[in-house]
Homo-oligomer: A and B are copies of this chain.
């Protein structure tokens, strides 16, 4: 993987395509670097100029006093390839191509990008772009602003990787004068060589970065992306907005970047599996990023609300429950301590409503008590502009001794004007990220809690039971006239992967069927088992509820007669006889191959739930035990899994094992393009989920 050290922490930079002309791209870029007091050396390459913006120029690469760590190419697209060649010959390995006019314009641009990639690979170059806005690094030892932007970035600990350069600039603009501060920004542009995962890998070791945020339009190498994320997420939260969630968004995105759209049904599960916390809006993502960068993670979901007004406390309570958090039950001793210092009209349970008379001393004392409460993991601290003689600034100042090293999460909500008395600088100094509304603070807190859980999951991943790889032999398509996998092959595959199937026999012989029925109690089900006949039920080749040998024989005769008409004379019709299960919970599993993501696993409720209501969950196969149980949690018709009528609650743990085994099956058998186990029935009788019907299709052979 490309090492981005010299791209993101360059000690010297050559600028290719910089001129003295005011307003030109190159001049702007140079001026932006100068404005941030870059700590390294700058070498503008321009044979026609002595100096630009006071920096001495060099006529070409050969005259440079040293080999620069990084070169930035700002030339019109038609000159870029030659410049890359020269850089390659001079063994300059780290290059940013800002120039546009590549893949994003299609046609000759696509061709030009191909050549660019070939050149970069030939010279072993780390290349960022083309068609990118550059990057910056606010680390004081680097202090490099390579983004044209006249607005100096707010320094801080949030890294931002954006597939849209404009959404980089826009966020920097909106973040100016707020408490959203950045460590690193990288505009990835067309991602010709360096992609999101390369930057994420750099961030893992970047001490100045505490939180990674991404604006993504496409994921191009899912395997690497997931690999890098699953390491990074153990140390730092990864937050993302993935645009193109909807059909409208996807159309807009593909006209923007020309990138292949990632199907949303895959993306949802994939990002979860990668440990990425996903957001619908940039605003919510950066709200969570501010909170994560400033405050410790909550150790649990129990939240105290401390407020000087009732209304916002109620709104916070509603939001807590809505976002999966809880109002902490305060310890009795805390309530007693609060009662001792608060007026009679105050509410001393949670939310703690100190009422409008609360001043900075009240805030201090209450926070001290609440933060010491063993049941409290986090505090939403609400300040409505107080009518009494105090200010938010004074309140914040006074809080310091109570909150210092308390180890609990505190998110303040400041419902007051941002004037001098608001004390925004004090909140910032105390690492308290300020929110304007209780609901947005709660949302951010819920994402912090989600990250805590995600991180725990990845810490434990080593211990999570994974099915042993089987590497079972690939199935062979013996008959090329149809693509269905024979029933017996499916059955032995299921057996190999320890996926339980309802008791059955596969035979052309009525006597064997009667023997089966005698061994297992009636009723039974009889089905044709021939890969040429796909719509068994429609053809009248399935019969349920067979209660006696006579009924079985009658069904057999009728079905055999029908099957003869559908099959070539040479083919002896084979039948599947199964024990009929009592009514139970119907589940389904499916597998499908995606060209980019590989084996896609589907799990859902059977019957109309999969067929009409599409209540399903997807993941990339194989999955571990945690992921399998998470899929179950994603189903909308959740209540059905918890038992109803005479059906006991599904043994989630046991079914998750079945999901795991099946996921291994599909990932180890790429010769199968699609496979469905539907229904899988969970009943009180068996206390087990048994496959009742299965079908599979061979992938088109490419020989």
A608 touches B (CB below 8 Å): yes
Are A436 and B613 neighbours in the complex by a CB distance under 8 Å? no
Are B257 and A640 neighbours in the complex by a CB distance under 8 Å? no
Are B248 and A387 neighbours in the complex by a CB distance under 8 Å? no
Known: A248-B327, A439-B281. A345 touches B309 (CB 8 A): no
Closest Cβ of chain B: how far from A541's Cβ, in Å? 19
Are B317 and A166 neighbours in the complex by a CB distance under 8 Å? no
Closest Cβ of chain B: how far from A250's Cβ, in Å? 8
A385 touches B (CB below 8 Å): yes
Q: How many chain A residues touch the partner (CB < 8 A)?
A: 86
Known: A241-B315, A437-B283. A166 touches B309 (CB 8 A): yes
Set of chain B residues within 8 Å of A255, measured between Cβ atoms:
347, 349, 353
Are A253 and B314 neighbours in the complex by a CB distance under 8 Å? yes
Are A170 and B309 neighbours in the complex by a CB distance under 8 Å? yes
Set of chain B residues within 8 Å of A416, measured between Cβ atoms:
170, 173-174
Closest Cβ of chain B: how far from A543's Cβ, in Å? 18
A425 touches B (CB below 8 Å): no
With most chain B CB atoms within 10 A of its CB, the pick from A249, A251, A351, A636 is: A249
Interface residues of A in 130-188 (CB under 8 A from B): 148, 151, 162-167, 169-171, 173-174, 176-177
Are A313 and B252 neighbours in the complex by a CB distance under 8 Å? yes
Count identical subunits in the complex.
2
Set of chain B residues within 8 Å of A417, measured between Cβ atoms:
151, 173-174, 176-177
Binds B, one of A55-63, A111-119, A318-326, A496-504: A318-326
Partner of A415, one of B173, B321, B387: B173
Known: A100-B345, A243-B311, A283-B436. A321 touches B248 (CB 8 A): yes
Are A169 and B322 neighbours in the complex by a CB distance under 8 Å? no
A449 touches B (CB below 8 Å): no
A69 touches B (CB below 8 Å): no
Interface string of A294-332 (1 = CB under 8 A from B): 000000000001001111111101111110001100000
Are A314 and B282 neighbours in the complex by a CB distance under 8 Å? no
Closest Cβ of chain B: how far from A446's Cβ, in Å? 13
Known: A314-B252, A415-B174. A384 touches B166 (CB 8 A): yes
Are A311 and B217 neighbours in the complex by a CB distance under 8 Å? yes
Set of chain B residues within 8 Å of A174, measured between Cβ atoms:
415-417, 436
A236 touches B (CB below 8 Å): no
Are B163 and A311 neighbours in the complex by a CB distance under 8 Å? yes
Set of chain B residues within 8 Å of A282, measured between Cβ atoms:
315, 437, 439
Are B309 and A248 neighbours in the complex by a CB distance under 8 Å? no
Q: Which residue of B lies closest to A171 (CB)?
A: B415
A11 touches B (CB below 8 Å): no
Are B318 and A256 neighbours in the complex by a CB distance under 8 Å? no
Known: A105-B345, A283-B440, A614-B639. A318 touches B245 (CB 8 A): yes
Query: With the chains together, A416 CA to B384 CA distance in Å?
Result: 28
Closest Cβ of chain B: how far from A565's Cβ, in Å? 25
Query: With the chains together, A345 CA to B416 CA distance in Å?
Result: 45
Known: A439-B280, A644-B611. A243 touches B314 (CB 8 A): yes
Complex A-B: 8 CB contacts under 8 Å: A148-B387, A166-B308, A173-B416, A217-B311, A217-B314, A249-B315, A255-B353, A614-B639
Supplied contacts A165-B309, A176-B417, 17 more A-B pairs, CB within 8 Å? A166-B384, A169-B385, A170-B312, A173-B385, A243-B318, A245-B318, A246-B320, A247-B321, A248-B326, A249-B317, A251-B317, A251-B327, A252-B351, A256-B310, A256-B311, A257-B310, A282-B439
Q: Which 7 pairs show the lowest CB-CB distances between chains A and B?
A: A164-B311, A166-B309, A249-B318, A170-B415, A246-B321, A256-B310, A167-B311
